[in-house]
Amino acid sequence: MQEVNENGGSTHWADKKEVAVLSWQLRFTAFVACHFPVFLKNAFAMAITAFYFAVMKKERKASKDFLKKCRGKVSLLDSYKHFLSFSLSLMEKFYCWSGKPAISQIETQQDDMDDLCKRLEDGEGCLMICSHLGNIEYLWSSAALGKTHVKRKFEIYPIADTAITPKQNDILNRNAKTINANSISIEEIALLSEKLTAGNVAIVAGDRVSANTRNRTVPVEFLGKQACFPMGAFALACALKVPVYFVFALREKDLGFSSGCKMHIHKASNIMYGSHQERKRQIPNLAKEFAKFLEYYCLKHPMQWYNFYDFWA
């Protein structure tokens, strides 16, 4: 999960500085997302995307390389649309945490959503593995704000590296205090286990190696080439011994702020069982299963993939 720097060395994605943007600019973006009419939101996203698309050379290359793996021939306009989709997703984060979206905007599918809801209704917890495809904020914010299909109240405990984008996180915190209030470190296994035993949910990204565990990876075939997926997300499932669900929240239309969201929930078939060593041997299989679902949805919605670096390096 690295990229080559100008001196020929390699730079981990987490060492890249947050995009140069002032706090007032993010606050204004949040205001636009929450209060402007849809056509102005889209116009605003197109304008700011044009600026960053012009100056972010490495990210443009990463975008084109990824889109080629999904679509073959790719134009500069395709890459711009990829950037635009990311701008829209950022605005959607602010919108989601403002509490404005209704549960009706999230369209569930004929997958394992019912299984998940039943488990939560029964007071049992689970681990969700998400990705940087689509916008998981739809699920996360809905659960935190009590807008779910589950009658029982439960908590979401995100496991995230919030130090990478401090300005963005600061603005999100202004809109929703719960975003970091429940954050738990991946090392706090005992506390996580306690929370899940109480019927809550932990959620972790399975497609980006943490800055603190960049050498702990699982090699997996992804879009025709071997990539390094973070071992931490799958080792966590091994340690917690709870059911695992893969979750993808995808915009129905790749572009356009007014698009609804389709929520896909898939229960992992690779169940962690047996002794600790036996469970550890299941980690690669769990990672491969996740990568298979991720690849399927990437091919359907490549514009909604938001890892703008060389994922295969």
Instruction: Give the pLDDT confidence score for residue 232 in this predicted structure.
Output: 86
Region 17-36 average pLDDT: 72
Which pLDDT does position 3 carry in this prediction?
Answer: 41
The alpha carbon torsion through 56, 57, 63, 66 (nearest 10 deg) reads -150
Mean pLDDT of the chain: 82
If pLDDT is split at 50, 70 and 90, which confidence band does 151 have?
confident
Q: Is the pLDDT score of 103 beyond 70?
A: no
Token representation of residue 278: 């036996």
E strand residue ranges, 34-76: none
Whether the pLDDT of residue 234 is over 70: the answer is yes
- Assign 305 to helix, strand or coil: strand
Dihedral, 246, 251, 257, 258 alpha carbons, nearest 10: -120
Of 109-118, 162-171, 278-287, give the lowest mean pLDDT range.
162-171
| More confident of the two residues 47 and 279 | 47
Percentage above 90 pLDDT, the chain: 44
- How confident is the model at residue 48, as a pLDDT? 92
Query: Which pLDDT value is given to residue 153?
Result: 85
C-alpha to C-alpha distances, 276 to 93, 116, 127, 178, 270, nearest whole angstrom: 38, 25, 18, 33, 15
Residue 280: per-residue pLDDT:
80
Give the pLDDT score at 5. Answer: 46
CA-CA distance, 42 to 303, in Å (whole number)?
16
What 3-state DSSP class applies to 206? coil
Given a cut of 50, whether residue 164 has pLDDT beyond it is: no
Q: Average pLDDT, stretch 113-122?
A: 91
Q: What's the CA gap between 44 and 33, in Å, rounded?
A: 9
Please give the model's pTM, rounded to 2 decimal places.
0.86
Q: Are 67 and 80 in contact (CB under 8 A)?
A: no
Mean pLDDT is lowest, of 7-16, 181-190, 255-264, for 7-16
- On whether the CB atoms of residues 222 and 290 are closer than 8 A, the answer is no
State the pLDDT at residue 172.
54
The C-alpha angle 156, 160, 164, rounded to 5 degrees, equals: 145
Please report the pLDDT score of residue 173 as a whole number: 57
pLDDT at 7: 44
d(CA 85, CA 251): 10
Report the range of poorest mean pLDDT among 4-8, 61-65, 175-179: 4-8
Give the mean pLDDT of 247-264. Answer: 86
pLDDT confidence of residue 210:
73
- pLDDT, residue 13, reads 44
* pLDDT mean over 20-42: 80
pLDDT at residue 212, as a whole number:
66
Whether residue 305 has pLDDT greater than 60: yes
Give 89 or 101, the one with higher predicted confidence.
89
Residue 291's pLDDT is what? 97
Residue 18 has pLDDT above 50, yes or no: no
